[in-house]
Every structure is written in structure tokens, then in C-alpha cells.
Amino acid sequence: MRTELDSSVVILLQRHEPGWEKWRDTLTRAASEGSLLISPVVFDECSEGFPATEVAVREFESIQVHLDAISPKSAYLAGQTFLRYRREGGPRQLPMRTSLPPVSVSSFVKPQT
């Protein structure tokens, strides 16, 4: 099974916001059943506090979270969905920039034994 993580979940876990333990436990179970993945967009949104790309990649890989490339077809469908959302009156908002500190993500998924 492949589990794709959303940036809102990763940020909640990084900040140890209320409810983070439940997500940690859920993702620990998911990691035991398959891959934990983040898209390039999630990587962008959650890695800005790290000093270098390589450091962010190492941190995510240390907890078995891997970067999942997005196919052109998926990117196109995402764009079409967003366009439909805007045409139907969805509000326009600037992307959320979190300014996360360079915090270790290793605390939010328990290592497999």
C-alpha cells in the first residue's frame, strides 16, 4: 500500500500540534504496510526550514518518507481541478508559507523494529 502525505499532516507532525500523536500512530501503521510518500509540492511546503535539499531529503528518508514524482497526467488533472474550483467561485488565496524551523522530522514516525 502507498500512503501519500499531505503537507497539512506533515506540518502538524513537525510542530507537534494537538492530535499529532494520532497521526504519528496512523503513519507508523501505514509505514509497516507500504511506502510513505510526499509529492514535490509537499516537499516544497515542508522543507523550507532545512539548510539544503540534501538535508531535507535525508530527514524524510530517515523516517521512511520518500519523494514521489508527479506524472504530467497527474499534474494536468490537478491543474484542471483547480481551474474548475476557481470557476465555481472557490476563493483565491496565496500559497501558505509555513516558515518552519529546521526541525527534525524523525520524531513523528516511530522507527520500525
Number of domains in the chain: 1
Could you list the pLDDT tens digit for every one of the 113 residues in the chain?
A: 889 898 888 888 888 888 889 988 999 999 999 999 998 888 988 888 889 999 999 988 888 899 988 888 877 887 788 788 888 887 665 444 444 444 444 445 554 44
Q: Are 30 and 1 in contact (CB under 8 A)?
A: yes
Residues 6+ apart with CB under 8 A from 105: 10, 13, 14, 59, 60, 62, 63, 65
pLDDT in tens, 73-100: 877 887 788 788 888 887 665 444 444 4
CATH of the domain at 8: 3.40.50
pLDDT at 69: 85
Domain membership of residue 97 as a residue range: 2-107
Is residue 79 a part of any domain in this protein?
yes
Closest of 23, 14, 70 to residue 45, by C-alpha: 14
Is residue 21 a part of any domain in this protein?
yes
3 by DSSP, 3-state: which?
strand
Q: Are 105 and 63 in contact (CB under 8 A)?
A: yes
Is residue 112 a part of any domain in this protein?
no
